Amino acid sequence: MPRALVTGGAGFIGSHLCDYLLAKGFSVIAMDNLITGDIANIAHVRNENFLFVKQDVTNYIYLEGPIDYILHFASPASPIDYLELPIQTLKVGSLGTHKALGLARDKKAAFLLASTSEVYGDPLEHPQKETYWGNVNPVGPRGVYDEAKRFSEALAMAYHRVHGVNVKIARIFNTYGPRMRVRDGRAIPEFISQALRGEPITVFGDGRQTRSFCYIADEIEGLFRLMTSDSNRPVNIGNPQEMTILDLAERIIKLTGSNSRIDFHPLPQDDPKVRQPDIGLARQLLQWEPRTSLDDGLAATIEYFRQRM
């Protein structure tokens, strides 16, 4: 039975990874300090092969026994989080990644890093390929997250080159689905929460900035294929279907049956104007692409939020 450690295992993506790995016959350790994760995300798990460890991964990690895979997903991942927790975000991307890589080296485990499309910053290349080096403001308010992930990638590749750690780097684009928090700060949970309450939908700028949204089940499948692949290159995992934020707001209003109006607010500093993954590498290396339509994914997410609110 393969054994995996998921840091950030009580988070949105991390908890879905735990479910997926358990269903694949893995023994799973979920590690989380619950600073942004929620124990409710894994409370449903009733499996003798599952263990939860409450720990901050910036501290030394000691686990007995073999570990075959380490999936490093610990980090605040929403602007509302990393603007409120800038130092913690930098520490988990640096110290936390260092500790997790040290464990991977000691256990001879494959290491999957949850990186992000934010390494591309406010991109000057569109769509974004893995060969693009990015356009990031290192001293802006978003820099704490962008640079933490860029450092994580550099550190992971250093461990691969120097110590031979079998590193995988997933550049994750906007992902959505059940278990996102009601107060998350990202577009889809924010719009759904506001629409279900009948509150005005908050759109920043003129709403013409674009994003690409991947449903969680598709994302997890792509991540697993990357984890078990032979590739050590960064790979974009996301949905290439691009849409404007204004179109997204209008679609959520329609799907929820809400009477909410749209309110426009100033665009935050360094907010990316475009975001769309080129997933040619994922198609080639992993034979993967997303399959869930936006309407189907949004319907499942809206139903989850109705039950939570």
pTM for this entry = 0.95
155-158 LR contacts (CB < 8 Å, sep 24+): 155/94, 155/97, 155/98, 155/101, 156/97, 156/101, 156/111, 156/113, 157/232
| Mean confidence (pLDDT) of the chain | 96
Q: Which three-class secondary structure state does DSSP give residue 167? A: strand
Give the span between the Cα atoms of 149 and 39, in whole angstroms. Answer: 25
User: Rounded to 5, what percent of the chain is helix, strand, coil?
Assistant: 40, 20, 40
Give the span between the Cα atoms of 233 and 242, in whole angstroms. Answer: 24
For residue range 114-164, list pLDDT tens digits in order: 999 999 999 999 999 999 999 999 999 999 999 999 999 999 999 999 999
DSSP state of 117: G
Q: What distances in angstroms separate CA 253 from CA 129, 213, 215, one per listed residue?
A: 32, 17, 19
Active-site residue, selected from the candidate residues 20, 82, 120, 145: 145
- The pLDDT assigned to 267 comes to 86
The Cβ of residue 188 has, within 10 Å, a number of other Cβ atoms equal to 24
For residue range 68-127, list pLDDT tens digits in order: 999 999 999 998 898 899 999 999 999 999 999 999 999 999 999 999 999 999 999 999
DSSP state of 202: E
60 is annotated as an active-site residue = no
Give the span between the Cα atoms of 124 and 109, in whole angstroms. Answer: 36
List the domains of the chain with CATH numbers: 3-175+214-239 (3.40.50.720)
Query: Is the previous residue joined to 127 through a cis bond, with omega within 30 degrees of 0?
Result: yes
User: Taking residues 4-9, what's their average pLDDT?
Assistant: 98
Tell me the two tokens of residue 62.
């000691």
Asked if residues 93 and 118 have their Cβ atoms less than 8 Å apart, the reply is no
Give the span between the Cα atoms of 104 and 91, in whole angstroms. Answer: 19
Least confident among 151-155, 232-236, 266-270 = 266-270
Give the span between the Cα atoms of 246 and 101, in whole angstroms. Answer: 40
